[in-house]
């Protein structure tokens, strides 16, 4: 029988929002505790650890999204995977377990290869960078253990791909709560016992490792184990070349987005005062939270929409997308109104030493992120068809944004330079192109 895990109900949506709020609340609650027990130097070393590991995670290069999408196709009854596009479900609606076995094999094989490269880079270039930035080898043992833990947790992150690919959104949410709860308990106990930097390293490792092992346990139910075992006697197909075709395009987009988001503060530091850089960083952090919350609904529907392309149910895809956009805009405008009219007041209540920029600067940011919530979500919908036509446009938008940003900063526009440049990067092409493609895609 075909998997029924792709059904989404109101309870799943509500629980997903609760999970996101839980994640942000936990981060907000644990931060003062960390600041009370960890000195500023050690905390700075920890942030360096995280930054280096964040760069290492770019090696994923879009495989997670591509693999998850293809798993959704298989669990929906697809009999073959294509480099671009998808195959329509045949009258035989059962899962092709031979194909599923091949996708799972390719997933684990791919993650293993990336993990080996990641480990090599972390213990060579990463170690050199850590020694250079920390002025010695005082943190070398912590770094080496952290490097191994990053690689282990990355390898087992294929569990998240399995779970999302099968459409088990509720399980994914539960594992997130378990992960963050484990982190709080472990970091709290170890900080209390005076473990300092080791507290953060061990808590970071155990929180991810525990949730992923639980994810493996629940993903491999009795029926799936039995079916996969029945086809595992023959060699699996290596589908790497098929999945890599679009994964590389998604990867390019991920790298440009990373460079795009990081360049603002880095470039700002060359032209602005530290207080203005702090305002910019705070603004982008808050908008990132708003964007995450606004995108929750489409993220929930993503595996379901992938499944519906296989069954060629455009009507339901259109309904799900319009529903997700309605919720997205509602959350976005409500949150932005709160930020514009009460942001500094709320920050004052928390005794923040950094205020938000002027309302006029924030309004231009709102315009840009509104565009992102329109053409960006349309691009995500397009990607559910296993086509990535927007990666070249993302590269051009990134380069254009940086160039305009530098010009405007040299002209003395200050904080206005950033949202204006971001709008200039997307407005000429992305803001109309992908909504138009999306309209044609969903047109009956």
Task: Write out pLDDT tens, residues 99-150.
Answer: 888 888 888 888 898 899 999 999 998 898 888 877 877 889 999 999 999 9
- For the chain, the domains span 10-238, 243-442
Q: Is 63 in contact with 110 (CB distance < 8 Å)? A: yes
Task: Write out pLDDT tens, residues 288-314.
Answer: 888 888 888 888 888 888 888 888 888
What are the respective helix, strand and coil percentages of the chain, to the nearest 5? Answer: 80, 0, 20
Q: How far is CA 355 from CA 282, 345, 369, in A?
A: 8, 9, 20
Task: Write out pLDDT tens, residues 66-103.
Answer: 888 888 888 877 788 887 777 766 566 678 888 888 88
Residue 1 has pLDDT above 50, yes or no: no
Instruction: Tell me the C-alpha distance between 259 and 11, whole Å.
Output: 37
Q: pTM for this structure? A: 0.75
In terms of Cα–Cα distance, which of 373, 383, 385 is closest to 295?
A: 373
Task: Write out pLDDT tens, residues 325-372.
Answer: 999 999 999 999 999 998 888 877 766 667 889 999 999 999 999 998
């Amino acid at each position: 029988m075909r998997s029924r895990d792709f059904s989404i109900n109101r309870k799943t949506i509500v629980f997903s929002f609760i999970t996101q709020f839980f994640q942000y609340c936990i981060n907000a609650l644990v931060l003062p505790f960390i600041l009370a027990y960890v000195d500023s130097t050690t905390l700075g070393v920890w942030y360096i650890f995280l930054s280096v590991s964040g760069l290492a995670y770019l090696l994923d290069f879009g495989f997670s999204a591509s693999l998850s999408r293809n798993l959704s196709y298989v669990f929906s009854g697809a009999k073959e995977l294509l480099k671009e596009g998808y195959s329509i479900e045949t009258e035989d609606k059962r899962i092709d377990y031979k194909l599923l076995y091949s996708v799972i094999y390719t997933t684990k094989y791919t993650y293993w290869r990336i993990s080996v490269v990641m480990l090599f880079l972390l213990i060579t270039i990463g170690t050199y960078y850590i020694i250079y930035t920390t002025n010695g080898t005082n943190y070398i043992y912590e770094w080496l253990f952290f490097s191994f833990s990053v690689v282990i947790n990355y390898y087992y992150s294929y569990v998240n791909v399995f779970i999302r690919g099968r459409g088990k959104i509720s399980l994914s949410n539960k594992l997130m709560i378990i992960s963050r709860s484990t982190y709080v308990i472990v970091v709290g106990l170890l900080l209390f016992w005076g473990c300092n930097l080791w507290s953060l390293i061990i808590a970071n490792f155990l929180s991810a490792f525990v949730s992923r092992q639980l994810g493996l346990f629940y993903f491999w139910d009795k029926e799936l184990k039995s079916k996969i075992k029945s086809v595992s006697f023959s060699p699996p197909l290596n589908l790497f070349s098929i999945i890599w075709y679009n994964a590389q395009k998604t990867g390019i987009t991920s790298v440009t987005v990373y460079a795009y988001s990081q360049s603002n503060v880095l470039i700002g530091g060359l032209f602005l005062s530290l207080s203005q850089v702090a305002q910019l960083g705070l603004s982008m952090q808050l908008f990132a939270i708003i964007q995450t919350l606004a995108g929750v609904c489409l993220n929930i529907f993503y595996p379901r929409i992938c499944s519906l392309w296989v069954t060629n149910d455009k009507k339901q895809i259109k309904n799900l997308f319009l529903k997700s956009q309605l919720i997205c805009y509602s959350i976005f405008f409500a949150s932005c109104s709160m930020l514009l009219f009460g942001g500094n007041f709320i920050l004052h209540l928390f005794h923040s030493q950094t205020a938000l920029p002027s309302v006029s600067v924030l309004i231009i940011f709102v315009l840009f992120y509104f565009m992102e919530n329109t053409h960006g979500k349309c691009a995500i919908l397009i990607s559910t068809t296993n086509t990535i036509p927007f990666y070249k446009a993302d590269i051009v938008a990134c380069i254009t944004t940086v160039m305009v940003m530098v010009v405007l900063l040299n002209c003395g526009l200050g904080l206005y330079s950033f949202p204006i440049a971001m709008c200039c990067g997307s407005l000429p092409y992305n803001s109309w192109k992908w909504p138009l493609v999306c309209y044609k895609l969903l047109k009956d």
